[in-house]
Chain A
């Protein structure tokens, strides 16, 4: 089954403790992206990647890192999480020619 898999589904952590949210897709998509969703703000793009080793900032990249060493994986790294990064995070992927984003089920992160 074609899917985008994010882990974990829920995460509670404390300020300053490094964490990684994983994202994996099984559709051989070139494009992958991370969004955060906050009430009243909709979805905002954090980072995106057009292919392996090619990443670029979205609208709200501060406090996040990403890497794209393999085509299928696009982890989101919070090196020193802060409470303002409490949010619902979505990973998405697409082929270069389809323009249809496939979204994961989301990761609810709480930073205390």
Chain B
């Protein structure tokens, strides 16, 4: 069965600094990969997704992620963090698409002034 690991529970980044959130997955074939963001008291919102093709995918709000098959990773990046990016971020993997997603445990991003 597939699984997802987000090794960082909390990350604090200064406003304007770059950000990288880590995500490692376990699955034998090429998975469907997603990053979602959850603002306090809200549901989840899709940031970006990878199914195939170019391994660097662009998402909303200036985020991007890179699929690295050799490292079984799908890390999320942003070159300059804004205070409004403070939220919880979830990586998710699916084997046949979005129908049965396995989510990671999440990384809470704190942005310091």
Query: Which residues of A approach B to under 8 Å, CB–CB?
Result: 4, 31, 33, 35, 40-45, 48, 50, 58-59, 90, 92, 94, 99-101, 103-106
Contacts and interface: CB of A to CB of B under 8 A. Distances in A.
B17 to A, nearest CB: 26
Contacts of A48: 99-100
A92 B105 CA distance: 18
Interface in B34-59: 36, 41-46, 49, 51
Taking chain A's interface residues, is the majority helix, strand, or loop, or is none over half, making it mixed? strand
A94 B106 CA distance: 22
Interface string B90-113: 101000011111111110000000
Contacts, number: 54
Contacts of B101: 45, 101
A100 B51 CA distance: 12
B105 to A, nearest CB: 4
A43 B90 contact: yes
Contacts of A41: 105
A80 to B, nearest CB: 26
Nearest to B98: A99
Contacts of B41: 105-106
B44 A99 contact: no
B32 interface: yes
A106 B105 contact: no
A59 B97 contact: no
A90 B43 CA distance: 7
Contact of A100 (B49, B99, B102): B49
A43 B103 contact: yes
A68 B23 CA distance: 34
B97 to A, nearest CB: 6
A38 B43 CA distance: 14
Interface string B75-98: 000000000000000101000011
Nearest to A57: B100
Most buried by A among B44, B51, B92, B102: B44
